[in-house]
Amino acid sequence: MENEHIQMVDLHRQYLRLKPEVDAAMQEVIDTCSFINGPQVKAFASHLADYLQVPHVIPCGNGTDALQIALMALNLMPGDEVIVPSFTYVAAAEVVALLGLIPVWVDVDERTFNLNPWQIESAISPKTRAIIVVHLFGQCGDMERIMQIAEQNHLYVIEDNAQSLGAEVIYQDGSRRKAGTIGHIGTTSFFPSKPLACYGDGGAVMTSDDRLAERARMIANHGQQTKYHHKIIGCNSRLDTLQAAVLEVKLPHIDAFAEARRKVAVRYDEALRDDARWAIPFRADYSTHVFHQYTLQIAGGERDDLQQYLKERGIPSMVYYPVPMHKQDAFYGLARNGSSLYVSEQLTRSVLSLPIHTEMTDKEIDYVTQTLLAYGK
């Protein structure tokens, strides 16, 4: 079988499929020159709020800004502690430290890669104010349990939904809610590879709390409601109109995009599940999965060899993430370990994410799985 120039995420093929609509939407922005705060920004925020069934969506510059704005909206004080998973992307922990707050590392569940609720409680101290739940790789954390812990301990919950926009938490009574809308405040990124992606940087904050929404909106706009009257310290973080126009075109497709990636995941699962050399992604019963990543755990210390073997055969793969947060130099002296971090360390040595995107063909998937199955044979 031929290698078809497989990519981790094939942005170009998706663009070609949506080209007439995307081109027209972008051209309209250029024709009207409404590059900042054009009508598309408001329209997109309102449509995303409808989709998520949340009263407030505040667009901003990117997912890292969204986290910063969310933390600032909560009015946490320097020295306050915020629980963050150690196995994750840096953004959440970075903004915690940037604001003079203290990241408290908690381990993740070895099957879901998400914050382990059983480890949260022992990490809580009198200074703890908030928990950041990062819904990693397309699957939600155990929100029902985490919200109980947060309520019992009077903690805020921030949901970093950058990798899982569209995923749903499934409650024990069978009801469902969209990730990002369950905690006090949620954040997301529209980075080009994300589940809902623009053609540059973009992000948003979402909340059901009117007061937090008002603060977040002000913070993203230099702390002002009325021009040149600054009530609080803020920043400048805006979603470009051009990006909002792209997102308006893509939003109606968000569930179809997730379904396309789920189909890839199912085909991967079927081919790979019976091989003891790796574990396929686990599906928690409390969440749907939008498969931002399809991440194997490779047994026996073979991960790096296997990655090289795939590369030589034209198959890209990625290690998300090679170093846990508690071992990053940047946080030295600024954070505290809240639990054993054994699983986070172990995962950084075993995880390998395979190509997955909305345009992947069966032929491409089969080339990946057949190559993997032939490894070492």
Ligand X SMILES: Cc1ncc(COP(=O)(O)O)c(C=O)c1O
* Cβ distance to ligand X smaller for residue 138 or 234: 138
* Cβ distance to ligand X smaller for residue 164 or 369: 164
Residue 315 corresponds to which amino acid? I
**Can you spell out the DSSP letters for 81-130?**
EEEEESSS-THHHHHHHHTT-EEEEE-B-TTT-SB-HHHHHHH--TTEEE
Distances 231 to 57, 140, 171, 225, 234 between C-alpha atoms, Å: 21, 35, 39, 8, 9
Query: Which two structure tokens, joined as six digits, stand for 235?
Result: 């920043």
* Cβ distance to ligand X smaller for residue 63 or 117: 63
Residue 290 corresponds to which amino acid? V
Q: Under the rule (CB under 6 A), what is the footprint of ligand X?
A: 62-64, 89, 91, 134, 160, 162-163, 189, 191, 201, 203
Q: How far is the CB of 43 from ligand X (least distance, A)?
A: 21
* Cβ distance to ligand X smaller for residue 91 or 354: 91
Which residue lies nearest ligand X, judged by its C-beta?
Answer: 63
CA–CA gap between residue 149 and residue 121 (Å, rounded): 7
Q: How far is the CB of 221 from ligand X (least distance, A)?
A: 18
Q: How far is the CB of 255 from ligand X (least distance, A)?
A: 20
* Cβ distance to ligand X smaller for residue 326 or 371: 326
Do 168 and 178 meet the contact criterion of CB atoms below 8 Å apart? Answer: yes
Question: Which 8-state DSSP code applies to residue 287?
Answer: B
Long-range contacts of 248-252 (CB under 8 A, 24+ apart): 248/25, 248/40, 248/43, 248/44, 248/47, 249/18, 249/21, 249/22, 249/25, 250/18, 250/196, 250/197, 250/198, 251/44, 251/47, 251/48, 251/51, 251/196
Q: How far is the CB of 321 from ligand X (least distance, A)?
A: 10
Q: How far is the CB of 356 from ligand X (least distance, A)?
A: 15
User: In sequence order, what are the beta bridge partners of 157?
Assistant: 131
What DSSP element (H or E) covers 267?
Answer: helix 254-272
* Cβ distance to ligand X smaller for residue 41 or 306: 41
Q: How far is the CB of 96 from ligand X (least distance, A)?
A: 12
* Cβ distance to ligand X smaller for residue 72 or 162: 162
Do 371 and 10 meet the contact criterion of CB atoms below 8 Å apart? Answer: no
* Cβ distance to ligand X smaller for residue 114 or 189: 189
Residues in CB range of 98: below 8 A, 6 or more apart? 68
* Cβ distance to ligand X smaller for residue 113 or 367: 113
* Cβ distance to ligand X smaller for residue 204 or 265: 204
Distances 237 to 88, 100, 192 between C-alpha atoms, Å: 23, 20, 18
Residues in CB range of 54: below 8 A, 6 or more apart? 178, 180, 181, 186, 206, 207, 208
Do 108 and 343 meet the contact criterion of CB atoms below 8 Å apart? Answer: yes
